[in-house]
Amino acid sequence: MKTKHVWFALSALAIAGCSQNEITEISPEANPAVGFSVFTGTQTKGTITDNTGTTGIQTTGFGVLAYYTGTDDFGSGSHASPTPNFMWNQKVEYKSSAWSYTPLKYWPNTTDEKISFFAYAPYADTQSAASSSNGIELTAATASGYPKITFHWNTTTPSAGVDLVATNAAQTGGDKTINLTKQTAAVPFKFKHVLSRANFWAKLDGSVNDSETKVFIKGVKLLGTSIEAPSAANSSSKFYTKATYKWEDGTWDYTDGTQQAAAVELDGDILNKANPNFGSGSAYTTSSVAVTATAASMFKANQYLFLIPPAVNGIAASTDIRILLTYDVVTLDTKLDGGKSVIEAKSVVSLPNETLKGGSAYKYVFTIGLEGVKVSADVENWDADVNVVDAALTEDAIKDAITAFSTIKGSTSACTKFSVHVTGTVGSATTLDLSGMTTTNFVAKDCITLDFSDVTGFSTSNKITVTAPTGWSVSGSPLSSAGQITLTKN
């Protein structure tokens, strides 16, 4: 699975002291600002989004919980069950072209005092699931021990589903967020997709002559534990609409979970329905998804289901996650009244074993034939997963960003696309010479986009020219207006 990487430089701020070590004086030298580097992929309304202000994290923001434990490690000594006494559901948001939060916080003055951080997105402005718009319910500000997220899946409007991302409690390495001491470097949050993403496709098999017989899917339901014809009750269904994400190990707890009883019908906002006009005279016009010999998505563009994974290893039995398809088989026949026959069919299909694992995306293809429906699954990467770093319009800042990408590439070899989101103003002709920098871990066809879309001050004389690192090609340079320059590893 790919992950997005977004680095944020946050404003400095003062804090009220915690426990027995109250901070009474603040100085930038002794108390550096708490900043975050965030590796994230988040979405709203069933759509994969990125670090943008349209539907992405710049709109939703993200939440942070932080625990000050003095000189103790998290969960030990006098802080065996700490509470979030440094930050609780602190919203970090994008304002005036910068990430900010308030009240601002500083690191403690003493070098051996520790803070542990947890983060999630999209931001939920309430602890109560009843009033939360995205189904995210946090443990209370007074709750002790590791925090948790109880996630409530949207059964009313599946198209508004949330692609929940959260950190796990990394204790070591570059992703460490637990027991951190005073530092000037940003806290390296690594957000991960914690749900499973599903896309439903359909096609006809070779038994159907689609020149005279066509199939139209009228309805798609996710079956729960209750009876839904032509299926029987299924008490062992693993279609969970409520479960708890455990930050300490990045797994799901179903102890107080909810196994959905009634079937959930996918609405017209997610299904790519249209009104066909099949046949002459009294043509077939029922709103539906037309199925052809070529596989095509049943969903509208950029729509997905984000489901609570049924277990750590995904689906384990045919009864775990079942789908009910309702479709019409329409055959043209001039001898019949109306010039056609319409036969409604229903088919219950089990999603394949070892799919719907947390953090993975799946493309399910339903193949409809004269003898029923079969389903297969392919694992997909999350769409539009690009590693993004924010950087100022300086040669050194952009070099630092690319160096950070090289480190990421070394630990996550599957990453192939990277983007530097540059901010600033072009005051004169600017040359960014990257020719001498080291890009050790990149491989052929890796791509780095230098995104100058938010840079101002361009003119016919105020251009940006980029010289590529050795072994890379460059396109889009020089740039005389807001846009992008692309580097590709040869």
Whether the Cβ atoms of residue 438 and residue 403 lie closer than 8 Å to each other: yes
- Tell me, what amino acid is at 340? K
Both structure tokens of 113: 């005092």
Examine the pLDDT at 337 and tell me if it is beyond 80: yes
Whether the Cβ atoms of residue 250 and residue 194 lie closer than 8 Å to each other: yes
Whether the Cβ atoms of residue 466 and residue 434 lie closer than 8 Å to each other: yes
Whether the Cβ atoms of residue 84 and residue 154 lie closer than 8 Å to each other: no
Confidence tier at 82 by pLDDT (50, 70, 90): very high
The alpha carbon of 409 is separated from its chain's Cα centroid by a whole number of angstroms, namely 20
The secondary structure element, H or E, covering residue 257 is strand 251-259
Residue 310 DSSP class: S
Report, as an integer, the average pLDDT of 105-125: 90
Residue 187 DSSP class: E
Residues 6+ positions from 422 with CB-CB distance below 8 Å: 391, 392, 393, 398, 450, 451, 452, 454, 455
Examine the pLDDT at 463 and tell me if it is beyond 50: yes
- The proportion of the chain whose per-residue pLDDT surpasses 90, expressed as a percent, equals 46
Return d(Cα 246, Cα 253) in angstroms, integer: 7
Kindly report which listed range (3-12, 91-100, 214-223, 479-488) carries the lowest average pLDDT score. Answer: 3-12
Return d(Cα 397, Cα 67) in angstroms, integer: 31
> Where are the extended beta strands (E) located within 29-135?
36-39, 43-44, 47-48, 62-68, 87-95, 98-100, 115-121
Report, as an integer, the average pLDDT of 11-26: 28
- Tell me, what amino acid is at 323? I
Instruction: Read off the pLDDT of residues 227-251 as tens digits, 9 standing for 90 and up.
Output: 888 888 999 999 999 999 999 888 9
Question: What does pTM read for this prediction?
Answer: 0.74
Examine the pLDDT at 369 and tell me if it is beyond 90: no
pLDDT on residue 413? 58
Residues 6+ positions from 25 with CB-CB distance below 8 Å: none
Instruction: Read off the pLDDT of residues 340-351 as tens digits, 9 standing for 90 and up.
Output: 999 999 999 999
Kindly report which listed range (49-58, 187-196, 399-408) carries the lowest average pLDDT score. Answer: 49-58
Name the more confident of 202 and 453.
202
Examine the pLDDT at 270 and tell me if it is beyond 60: yes
The SS3 of residue 451 is strand
pLDDT on residue 132? 62
Paired strand residues for 291: 215
Whether the Cβ atoms of residue 51 and residue 94 lie closer than 8 Å to each other: no
pLDDT on residue 415? 67
Name the more confident of 188 and 395.
395
Kindly report which listed range (30-39, 118-127, 284-293, 466-475) carries the lowest average pLDDT score. Answer: 30-39
Both structure tokens of 456: 């101002």
Name the more confident of 15 and 86.
86
Q: Which of 329, 375, 370 is nearest to 356 (CA)?
A: 375
Return d(Cα 31, Cα 22) in angstroms, integer: 13
Residues 6+ positions from 336 with CB-CB distance below 8 Å: none
Instruction: Read off the pLDDT of residues 26-78 as tens digits, 9 standing for 90 and up.
Output: 344 567 877 665 544 444 444 443 445 555 666 788 899 999 999 999 999 99
Domain ranges for the chain: 1-194, 196-380, 387-489
Count of beta carbons in the 10 Å neighbourhood of residue 263? 20
Kindly report which listed range (20-24, 273-277, 373-377, 415-419) carries the lowest average pLDDT score. Answer: 20-24
Whether the Cβ atoms of residue 67 and residue 84 lie closer than 8 Å to each other: yes
Both structure tokens of 26: 């603040």
Paired strand residues for 422: 391
pLDDT on residue 466? 95
Sign (positive or negative) of CA dihedral 76, 77, 80, 83: negative
Return d(Cα 457, Cα 451) in angstroms, integer: 15
The secondary structure element, H or E, covering residue 324 is strand 322-332
Instruction: Read off the pLDDT of residues 164-180 as tens digits, 9 standing for 90 and up.
Output: 888 878 777 667 889 99
Name the more confident of 127 and 299.
299
pLDDT on residue 37? 57
Q: Which of the residue ranges 16-30, 112-126, 212-226 has the most confident prediction, judged by mean pLDDT? A: 212-226
Average pLDDT, the chain: 82
90-122 burial by CB neighbour count: b if 16+ within 10 A, else e?
Answer: bbbbbeeeebebeeebbbbbeeebbbbbbbbbb
- Tell me, what amino acid is at 374? K
Report, as an integer, the average pLDDT of 67-94: 93
Angle at 64 between CA 117 and CA 67, to 5 degrees: 40
Examine the pLDDT at 127 and tell me if it is beyond 70: no
Asked if omega into 122 is within 30° of 0 (cis), the reply is yes
Whether the Cβ atoms of residue 201 and residue 366 lie closer than 8 Å to each other: yes
pLDDT on residue 56? 62
CA 89 to each of CA 122, 211, 298, 374, 380: distance values in angstroms, whole numbers, following the listed order: 11, 57, 37, 45, 32
Paired strand residues for 344: 328
Instruction: Read off the pLDDT of residues 436-453 as tens digits, 9 standing for 90 and up.
Output: 888 888 998 888 989 887
Both structure tokens of 160: 């508004």
pLDDT on residue 10? 31
Whether the Cβ atoms of residue 489 and residue 458 lie closer than 8 Å to each other: no
